[in-house]
Amino acid sequence: MEKKQSIIDQFKGQARLPRLAAPRRYDLHLKLDLVACSFTGVVRVGLAVAEATKFLVLNALELAIGDVCFADSADQKKVRPCDVVMDDEDEILVLAFDEALGCGEGVLTVEFSGMLNAHLKGLYKCAYVDGGEKKYMAATQFEAVDARRCFPCWDEPALKAAFQITLDVPLELTALSNMPILKEKLNGDIKTVYFEESPMMSTYLVAVVVGSFDSVEETTADGIRVRVYCPPGKSDNGKFALHVAVKALELYTRYFSVPYPLPKLDMVAVPEFAGGAMENYGLIIYRENDMLHDELQSTAAKKQRITVVAMHEVAHQWFGNLVTMEWWTHLWLNEGFATWVSYMATDNLFPEWKVWTQFLQYTASGLHMDSLEKSHPIEVEIIHARAVLEIFDAISYEKGSAVIQMLQSYLGDAIFQKSLSSYMKRYAWKNAKTEDLWSVLTEESGVEVTNLMETWTKQKGYPLISVNLNGHILAFEQSQFLLSGLAGEGLWIVPITLCLGSYERQKKFLLKTRCGEIDISDLFNSPSDCLGLSEENDPEKFKEHFWIKINIYQSGFYRVKYEDKLATQLIKAIESNYVSAPDKFGILDDTHALCQAGKQSLSSLLTLMGVYRKDIDYTVVSNLIEVCYNIVKVYYDAFPDSVDYLRQYFINILRPSAERLGWESVSGEPHLNVLLRGEISMALASFGDEKTHEDAIRRFKSLLMDRNTPLLSADTKRAAYIAVMRKTTVASRNYFESLLSIYREADTVQEKERILRHLAASPDPDIVMEVLNFLASDEVRDQDIIYGFRGISLEGREAAWKWLKDHWDFILNKYGTGLLFTNFLTDIIALFSSNEKADEVEAFFANRTTLAFAMNLKQSIEQVRIKARWVQNIKQEESLPELIKQLAIKG
């Protein structure tokens, strides 16, 4: 025993495996038993032993290890280890040999077995119902570090190898893996499926799915066979995703000037999946809700989501799979780029969706997360593999893609595209670090990209740029923006863009120091613009109309605070509709953040919001709605007695758009109108608008009579479900029961998702408690429980917190440390806005925190404290309730 411990000790506590040997090729044979939910396997790993060593150290977790043997390729001598030790904490398998293995090639053979787990990671089981009978299929989710749960391996992205996979599965099932099937052999009711050997790839991209599916397929112009696998009888629902995937392959092949690297691409929707989708090489696995599309039952919003998700996953086949991050520190290279590229591709396929404007919602959520003290840099040190999951967050995805957008717009499309293509060719089949990409961009563009970008990726946070105009001199000052209201220490190289009076009069420069100035006389004196105005021609009129917008189209990852005069001029420009949609979005979002940080009053924010009431742009209005929701959450705690007036004011602001759009879709209307109708009707239902509630309930009754009623489209159903739940109490639960029946009989995952999202919206805490128990019951698939958390009412938050505490052990057991786990915390804690509650949450988790969610928990608690401060600030604006009452009555 003592000896074993000392063997393990020398390899413990290290972020990465010792480089004693490197895998070149895995020959992996898995035998699946879907009745016993277990598997056995043999892996033969072709190894290059780097130096003479008595140890081999690799990763394994929750596997039983059988026979182990090492064969030296030079002399074919076989040796067995004297000790085989697993360490659960560091997730390593140490093989100790009596005599040192020589430097050179060899083959390590390991027999092992394990259980198909219920935690949606590693090789796991997914339950589904077939002819009334509950059965299991098997699927994999290896990213970030769960390949080691399926077979012993060197489970790090930089240790790429070729994979030859063989599966023993029940005869009647479909078996899929990264590569095409080479051959099949039958043996009674079992078939052995041999897949072709893969090119060099990382372990986290290996994938296997075994189940029962129907499929549709197409071939691209380049001869790549693309197949989409759907639940039996639902292959029609895969046609839209198939169309998108084929377009994506053609588009990326052109954009990167590198062909799709594998002979086929499969996409499969499985009944249980933790994330939205996973980009496994040649075999993308989806949650059903994010791949299956039904022309009648799916909303416009879902169609867009399915497109963006597919574009993202296919982009990874290049960005991530062909060129892979060297270590998890560079995860953002995968995620930031796939996200950015997915918008580029979606914009190309559906230009009328204007997704680049919608992309600002992404930027905004990155800005929000990164204004927390407990944020982290884009490039973050990973000291234990288990902590990787936490950085699949708004910093890696949203901030990552936003700083790429900033760089791309600074360098220009053509140079950026050419650089990406060079990068892709140079690092194909290999790994790259962030600095490798910067080097290529620097070479191609002649701009010092490394210096510029390291200020954005190596430090957390971002700047607030304060702007003053003195004569024709614009003065800038940068300071780190934090929602806590404190100023951080950071300093950035900021690409500043600005325009004066029109988008034709622009200037750009890099602000490299804390303060800077720029003379903009030339913009003032430029001969004319779209208004025909210049200061020389008509100084008075010019003075009245001129406006200055910094960060044109919001392409930079920073916020702007204007001096009062500039701010007032800008508001006039918004009213006159001179300002673009992205800029309107940015002005509101920045003001909202400044208000949260205590740098601006709530009354000034509310006045600004009134200016947006005539706006019709989808992204601008949905941001306006988001701001409304956030204000209600804190105002509810500041002045509970007048929160209904506040809601009424928001109803007044949104009413003109709601009336313009109506409830029913118009054939051939723009996609963005459909999206906006959905958002506005939900907001009005949430704010308790009587007229909306009456309409909603009438239409809901019609749905009860006829599931295909023309009175309630898929796009407005959610508003009706909110209205139903806002009217539900223990004493009045008829419509709630009806909604549950619709859930139980629903044939599409999307309808189920829609209902789950709003079940907890009731103002009655007892109903909220009942709903949470329902979410955790067998009636809701494990993966779907999270949908219910987002919609918990403010009135139900204490009940939800109690439920979370009472069910903590259940949650921990069932969801362990997976992707879904953090939703339990973040969504429920986010409902609070007092320091007392923050203390209570901290106390509860004091001895319950694990590495897997420590950072997310701290971020959640910090957000509660930020809101608590905001509540205090609002309380000090004593005239607010009266102002809000006036705004509400004014209509």
Catalytic residue from among 156, 288, 313, 679: 313
Q: What order of strands is seen across the sheet that includes strand 264-270?
A: 214-219, 225-230, 264-270, 283-287, 277-278
Scanning residues 346 to 405, which ones bind Zn ion (CB under 5 A)?
none
Phi, psi for 128 (deg, rounded to 5)? -150, 165
Using the structure block, give the residue that is written with the tokens 């041999």. 194
Residue with Cβ nearer Zn ion (308 or 634) = 308
d(CA 31, CA 8): 30
Smallest separation (angstroms) from Zn ion to the CB of 151: 23
Q: Given the rule CB under 5 A, which of 267-275, 328-336, 401-409, 558-566 is the region that contacts Zn ion?
A: 328-336
Smallest separation (angstroms) from Zn ion to the CB of 394: 13
Smallest separation (angstroms) from Zn ion to the CB of 316: 6
HSE toward the beta carbon, residue 591, CA cutoff 13 A = 27
Residue with Cβ nearer Zn ion (427 or 700) = 427
Residue with Cβ nearer Zn ion (285 or 499) = 285
Could you give the string, one character per residue 83-112, with x where binding to Zn ion holds by CB under 5 A and - elsewhere?
------------------------------
First-to-last C-alpha distance (Å) of the chain: 78
Cβ atoms of 174 and 235 within 8 Å: the answer is no
Residue with Cβ nearer Zn ion (392 or 844) = 392
Q: Given the rule CB under 5 A, which of 18-26, 329-337, 497-505, 543-551 is the region that contacts Zn ion?
A: 329-337
Q: Does 742 bind Zn ion (CB under 5 A)?
A: no
Query: E strand or H helix at 721, and its extent?
Result: helix 717-726
Smallest separation (angstroms) from Zn ion to the CB of 280: 11
Smallest separation (angstroms) from Zn ion to the CB of 637: 37
Cβ atoms of 844 and 807 within 8 Å: the answer is no
Cβ atoms of 528 and 558 within 8 Å: the answer is no
Please report the DSSP string for 587-599 in residue order.
HHHHHHHHHHTTS
Smallest separation (angstroms) from Zn ion to the CB of 144: 11
Q: Given the rule CB under 5 A, which of 81-89, 112-120, 338-346, 743-751 is the region that contacts Zn ion?
A: 338-346
Cα–Cα distances (Å) from 423 to 434, 438, 618, 891, in that order, read 11, 9, 36, 57
Smallest separation (angstroms) from Zn ion to the CB of 207: 14
Peptide bond into 830 cis (omega under 30): no
Residues in the chain: 891
Residues facing residue 57 across a β-bridge: 94
Residue with Cβ nearer Zn ion (335 or 715) = 335
Structure tokens at 635: 């105002």
Of residues 811, 786, 798, 879, the one with CA closest to residue 841: 798
Of residues 432, 427, 550, the one with CA closest to residue 495: 550
Q: Given the rule CB under 5 A, which of 193-201, 335-343, 477-485, 652-660 is the region that contacts Zn ion?
A: 335-343
Structure tokens at 618: 């989808």
Q: Given the rule CB under 5 A, which of 85-93, 337-345, 350-358, 570-578 is the region that contacts Zn ion?
A: 337-345
Phi, psi for 482 (deg, rounded to 5)? -130, 140
Q: Given the rule CB under 5 A, which of 33-41, 331-339, 409-417, 418-426 is the region that contacts Zn ion?
A: 331-339
Smallest separation (angstroms) from Zn ion to the CB of 43: 27
d(CA 694, CA 363): 37
Residue with Cβ nearer Zn ion (356 or 392) = 392
d(CA 858, CA 864): 10
Q: Does 338 bind Zn ion (CB under 5 A)?
A: yes
Smallest separation (angstroms) from Zn ion to the CB of 823: 18
Q: Given the rule CB under 5 A, which of 1-9, 333-341, 688-696, 821-829 is the region that contacts Zn ion?
A: 333-341
Smallest separation (angstroms) from Zn ion to the CB of 279: 6
Residue with Cβ nearer Zn ion (335 or 782) = 335
Residue with Cβ nearer Zn ion (266 or 583) = 266
Residue with Cβ nearer Zn ion (41 or 336) = 336
Using the structure block, give the residue that is written with the tokens 């786990």. 821
Structure tokens at 576: 């006159």
d(CA 891, CA 653): 8
Among all residues, whose Cβ is closest to Zn ion?
Answer: 338
Q: Is 313 annotated in the active site?
A: yes
Q: Given the rule CB under 5 A, which of 27-35, 330-338, 357-365, 494-502 is the region that contacts Zn ion?
A: 330-338
d(CA 878, CA 487): 27
Smallest separation (angstroms) from Zn ion to the CB of 286: 12
d(CA 578, CA 502): 8
Residue with Cβ nearer Zn ion (338 or 593) = 338
Smallest separation (angstroms) from Zn ion to the CB of 317: 11
In eight-state DSSP terms, residue 792 is -
Of residues 582, 583, 554, the one with CA closest to residue 571: 583
Residue with Cβ nearer Zn ion (151 or 318) = 318
d(CA 433, CA 331): 9
Scanning residues 629 to 688, which ones bind Zn ion (CB under 5 A)?
none
Q: How many residues bind Zn ion (CB under 5 A)?
A: 2
Q: Is 11 helix (H, G, I), strand (E, B) or coil?
A: coil
Structure tokens at 211: 């189940």
Cβ atoms of 136 and 116 within 8 Å: the answer is yes
Smallest separation (angstroms) from Zn ion to the CB of 319: 9
- Which residues contact residue 805 at a Cβ distance below 8 angstroms, ignoring those fewer than 6 apart? 844
Scanning residues 865 to 884, which ones bind Zn ion (CB under 5 A)?
none
Cβ atoms of 128 and 137 within 8 Å: the answer is yes
Of residues 312, 313, 340, the one with CA closest to residue 420: 340
Q: Given the rule CB under 5 A, which of 332-340, 412-420, 448-456, 721-729 is the region that contacts Zn ion?
A: 332-340
Of residues 70, 69, 83, 76, the one with CA closest to residue 9: 83
Residue 78: Cβ within 10 Å count: 12
Cα–Cα distances (Å) from 482 to 38, 333, 376, 863, in that order, read 50, 25, 13, 11
Instruction: List helix spans (H) across 137-206.
Output: none
Please report the DSSP string for 269-323 in residue order.
EES--SSSEE--TTEEEEEGGGT---TTTS-HHHHHHHHHHHHHHHHHTTBTTTB
Residue with Cβ nearer Zn ion (339 or 681) = 339
Residues facing residue 168 across a β-bridge: 31, 192
Structure tokens at 262: 């594998």
Residue with Cβ nearer Zn ion (21 or 139) = 139
Q: Does 205 bind Zn ion (CB under 5 A)?
A: no
Contact residues: Zn ion, CB under 5 A: 335, 338
* Catalytic residue numbers, as ranges: 313
